[in-house]
Structure 1
Amino acid sequence: MFKQVIRNLSKNFVWLVGAIAVLASPISYAQNWPTKPIKLVIPFAAGGTTDILGRLLAQQLSKDLGQNVIVENKPGAGGNIAAEFVAQSAADGYTIMLASGSMLTVNPSLYKKLPVNYAKDFVYITNVASGPMLLSVSTKLPVKNLGEFIAYAKTKDLNFGSAGIGSQVHMAAENLTYSANIPATHVPYKGESAALNDLVAGQIDFMVGNLTAATGFAKAGQIKPLAVTSLKRSKQLPDVPTAAEAGIPGFESTGWFGLVAPANTPKAITDKIYAATVKAVGSEAMRNSLDLNGLTAVVNTQKDFESQVKNESVVWEKVIKGRNISAQ
């Protein structure tokens, strides 16, 4: 009898030690994280604004986290291909994604079927940066300002390019044409840089692209910039008026980019990523790089980030219905 009691006590002790180890291991794991390189997934092709920002951020995060942050581009389907990849990745902090605002606020209303549930399959970490868009037209178009463009567009069947269906570039153009009450045909590309190249070549008529990617072409005279979509003029193109100044009162449309991780990633790890991101975008090197690219640092809490996505989703749902936009 005495021996049986001892055996039971021994079993219970082993079980208790094991339970404590299981409970403690996530804490220990999070404390030691990261111990290997981190993959930062970019859902669009190289050369676009998301890619440019992602590489700037990865470089700074590598310094702050003490591990290499490796950029991996997975373009296609308005960011859904990358989103599916990240959602199915291990929730260990070693795979994160720099999502465009459109992925989180537009795709749920735009696509009838999605490989992910953006509200449930990810944990939102923080918004990173935002920036205005630039309405530019082909040098072949006989217009010099926004007013002339709107009048001309109402008499012609113009087309516009974007980084893909549902991308921020696409939705900004839809928003602008909806606000100006002009018809236009959308031509989706696999990335913003490909669309800009065709705008330079005159294969498409206009584009509402991220200022970061379009400024160089505008300054070189390869495209004609007509208006920025922010409420204030851009330091990069100070002579270009805002859309509100030039003919669409109250118009504003900005692009933004935020970090997300697979659902169930430990909060202790996402907190580390958040803290490192705050430090990264606050660094002089990052601030200078963002300013040079026409971007503004934006770091908000997870709760505020979620509220931003929720509020903007309502706005874009109205635009999608108003323009009768859909994607398979």
Structure 2
Amino acid sequence: MHIARKLVATLALTAVAQLASAQAFPDRSITLVVPNPPGGLVDTSARLLSEPLTRVIGQTVIVDNKPGASGNIAYQFVANAKPDGYTLLISYSGYHVGNPALMDKLAWDPVKDFSPIALLTISTNVIAVHPSVPVNNLKEFIAYAKANPGKLNYASQGNGSVSHIGTEMFKQSTGIEMVHVPYKGSGPAIQDVLAGQVQVFISTPPSLMQHVQSGKLKGLAVTGKSRHPGMPNVPTTAEAGLPSFQLESWVGLFAPAGTPAPVVAKLTDSVKKSLALPEVKERADAAGVELRYLTPAATDALVKKELPYWNKAIKSANITLD
């Protein structure tokens, strides 16, 4: 009985300490760790959030880009960080649900090592090619690629990214062959695509929209269920004759596992308020990003639903990091 009373007292003291910590939180700056370099969906999502969250939560929110190792540098850094709410992960679906299937000895677990705070954004992808590729629509591109197997190069944001996995799935669904050229994020990839050194890029609107609008790249199709408002003349894959192929990417905010529930709750509430601000939606629309807030429970459910799906897709396409 004495041990039981002592345990109850310890738990009570812990709960009081956590509540006091949450009430004082935050009393210094918060860092959003981004697994990608500047540019593209993930970094754009972080910067969409950082400024309004600074105003809502009352402390400076800093964006810290830590690219490399297919996102693992950032993920491991946050997984090992003190679970106090001051070091958070801007997580990318290609890494969060893709890397566990790509790596046998991952230094972090997508469920056990992170506490979801909220889903932030979701984005369709765009199939784009350099103007030097002599095609004007998706059907012509597939026919051209089949007639020239292995002669086209495609860029990705890195091994295991959604652009990598998605393009391999696109290859499987169409029977074409292209050579993979991985980059450390969208920024470096788009430079080589614009220069024509790599001819094909399947990526999110923040990477490609302005270049499709300007004519520097040809947008052949968007991979969602509806056309993108920033590229109204680009058909969906279904409209372009490939209804079986769809691809979306998401970005979420996660804390290290063990972060006190009251701190997570305060962060979640502050994120929800930040994303609801009209100016944030305006900035998101201009960047080609769709705001999609989800609660911690719904975000957790999304991760657990997609883990087996991406594992099957990666194994079926025989995607590796070699």
TM category, shorter: over 0.9
Secondary structure class of the residue paired with 1:218: helix
Q: Secondary structure at the match of 2:139?
A: helix
Question: Counterpart of 2:92 in structure 1: which amino acid?
Answer: S
Partner of 1:60: 52
Specify the alignment match of 1:174 in structure 2.
Answer: 168
Q: Deviations over 1:305-325 (max 9, x none)?
A: 122112222222222122110
The DSSP-based 3-state class of the residue aligned with 1:243 is coil
Encode CA deviations 1:79-116: one digit per residue, 9 max, x unaligned: 11100000111000000011011122111001222121
Paired with 1:143 and 1:324, the residues of 2 have a C-alpha distance of 29
**Equivalent AA in structure 2 for residue 199 of structure 1:** V
Map Cα deviations across residues 213-254 of structure 1 (whole Å, 9 max, x no partner): 211111122111111111100110000001111021142211
Q: Check whether the contact 2:18–2:262 (CA below 8 A) recurs between aligned residues.
A: no
Matched, 1:149 2:156: no
Q: CA–CA distance in 2 between the matches of 1:57 and 1:70? A: 10
Letter of the 1:75 partner, please give it: P
Q: How many residues are aligned here? A: 313
C-alpha displacement of 1:20 = 6.8
Q: Output the CA distance in 1 between the equivalents of 2:132 and 2:35.
A: 32
> Is the 1:112–1:327 Cα contact (8 Å) retained in structure 2?
no
Alignment of 1:275-290 (within 5 A): 275-290=269-284
Indicate whether 1:49 and 2:29 are aligned: no
The residue aligned with 1:35 is 27
Partner of 1:124: 116
What root-mean-square deviation, in Å, do the aligned CA atoms of Structure 1 and Structure 2 show? 1.7
Flag as ranges the 4+ runs of structure 1 deviating above 6 A.
16-20
Does the residue aligned with 1:102 lie in a helix, a strand or coil? helix
Cα deviations by residue, 1:256-308 (Å, 9 ceiling, x for unpaired): 10011101001111111111111111110111111112222211222221221
The question of 1:270 aligning with 2:264 is answered yes
- Structure 1 partner of 2:4: none
Partner of 1:113: 105
> Given the alignment, which residue of 211, 218, 232 partners 1:217?
211
Equivalent residue runs for 1:1-328 within 5 Å: 23-156=15-148, 157=150, 158-327=152-321
Residue range with higher mean Cα deviation, 211-220 or 263-272: 211-220
Letter of the aligned partner of 1:263 in structure 2? A
Judge which range, 295-304 or 231-240, deviates more. 295-304
Provide the rounded CA distance (Å) in 1 between the counterparts of 2:62 and 2:147.
48
C-alpha deviation, 1:17, in angstroms: 10
Matched to 2:102, the amino acid is L
DSSP 3-state at the match of 2:238: helix
- The residue type paired with residue 240 of structure 1 is V
| Partner Cα separation in structure 1 for residue 140 and residue 281 of structure 2 | 36
Aligned mates of 1:18, 1:110 — CA distance in 2: 42
Task: Give the distance between the partners of 2:204 and 2:189, measured in 1 at CA.
Answer: 12
| 3-state SS in 1 of match to 2:127 | strand
Q: Closer, same or farther in 2 for the Cα pair 1:229/1:19, shift >3 Å?
A: closer
Report sequence identity in percent: 37
Give me the whole-angstrom Cα distance separating, in 2, the residues matched to 1:18 and 1:109.
40
Contact 1:126/1:301, CA 8 A, preserved across alignment: yes
Contact 2:98 2:160 in 1 (8 A): yes
SS of the equivalent of 1:299 reads strand
Q: Distance in 2 between matches of 1:324 and 1:260?
A: 29
Please tell me whether the aligned partners of residues 231 and 251 of structure 1 are also in contact (alpha carbons under 8 angstroms). Answer: no
Rounded to whole Å, the distance in 1 between the matches of 2:269 and 2:96 is 22
